[in-house]
Structure 1
Amino acid sequence: MLETLSQPWPWYVSGAVIALIMVIMLFFGKSFGFSANLRIICSACGAGKHVPFFDFNWKNQLWNILFLVGAVLGGWISSTFLSTGEAVQISQATIQDLQQLGFSAPQGMQPEELFGMESLLSFKTIALLLGGGLLIGFGSRYAGGCTSGHAISGLSDLQWPSLVAVIGFFIGGLIMTFLLYPLIF
């Protein structure tokens, strides 16, 4: 059983599981999204006493915090107990694109030049992480939700603003990948 769990699964398994989860969530009137957890945590810590945005009944959203904890715990369990330690299998074209940007092929899950412990000592890496985190936080708040909330939950609920947000996310991803990423690296 462990051998089956530690192997890469076909894409259609995760698609079916996501669809099942969305049907269950829509049935119970819930919406999915990770960026809401920051608001819930801030509210639970008492930020609602000082900022009206955080003044709401956070206990109604406790299930979302449990989902967050489960995702982090599941990631830790899979990396600790189910990981084979083999390099992720990516296409030769991706390896060539990485090499053109000065990165080696991943020996694990990602290139060491970007995600290794030594890269955290670089000012450029720290600035990119902080800047990217700030932009993602601002963007998810400005868009009224994160990519998972809009793309999975919003589109499943046939919400027009979610379609517009997802199109914007894809355009932003393309701009980053083909215009900004080569300039940064």
Structure 2
Amino acid sequence: MLAWLLEPWPWYVSGPLIGLAVPILLLLTGKNLGISSSLRHIGAACRPNSKLPYLSKNYSWREHTGTLIFVLGVLIGGFVGNYLLSAEPGNFIPAFYASPLGVVGLFAGGILIGFGTRYAGGCTSGHTIMGISALNLSSLVATVFFFVGGLLSTWFILPLFIP
């Protein structure tokens, strides 16, 4: 009966489900879908008296607890999907990244992604799922360049590190 949960879902099922999350979120909460702002919320919660304007005491992270709950749900959902609903659970981090070069690559990639999401005004989910559905031209441009960057990294940069 539940065997269909153990197999990857086809794009024509999972795509519309992801797409329906946008209007449902807007209707129920009036908020946009996105995850990159959660780092700011966590930082403001951990450092409520910070001198950084980005985490200033005038910023109320409590107004954004829904985003933090969403991030927690993504983490729990990933764990449940991988370990409880998968016929063959995969590793979250491939063996290559356990090496010193892999750790440096993850660290550098994390910094670049963090800088890029703040510079672009949002992450891939925020721009691609939410921004394009809201017909934002800047989100369309950002999404095109997310894909261009991913393709360039996959075909030209990653082969330099993985034999």
Q: TM-score range by the shorter chain?
A: 0.7 to 0.9
User: 1:147-166 alignment to 2 at 5 Å?
Assistant: 147-166=124-143
Percentage of identical aligned residues: 42
CA distance in 1, matches of 2:82, 2:146: 28
Q: Specify the alignment match of 2:44 in structure 1.
A: 43
1:181 counterpart letter in structure 2: L
Higher Rg = 1
Residue type of the alignment partner of 1:52: P
Structure 1 stretches of 4+ moved >6 Å: none
Going from structure 1 to structure 2, the CA distance change for 1:174 and 1:22 (only over 3 Å counts) comes to: same
Contact persistence 1:35–1:145 (CA under 8 A): yes
Q: Which of the numbers 109, 120, 135 marks the counterpart of 1:143? A: 120
Partner residue, 2:66: 63
Question: Which residue number in structure 2 is paired with residue 18 of structure 1?
Answer: 18
Gaps of 5+ in 1: 86-107
**TM-score after normalising by structure 1:** 0.77
Alignment RMSD: 2.1
1:61-89 per-position Cα deviation (integer Å, ceiling 9, x unaligned): 1111111111111111222221212xxxx
Could you say if the C-alpha distance between residues 124 and 169 of structure 1 is closer, same or farther in structure 2, counting changes exceeding 3 Å? same
Cα deviation digits, residues 90-124 of structure 1 (max 9, x gap): xxxxxxxxxxxxxxxxxx647xxx712x751x221
Task: Name the amino acid aligned to 2:30.
Answer: G
| Match status 1:171 vs 2:148 | yes
Amino acid at match of 1:4: W
Q: 2:118 corresponds to which letter in structure 1?
A: R
Unaligned runs of 5+ in 2: none
Aligned to 1:31: 32
Aligned to 1:88: none
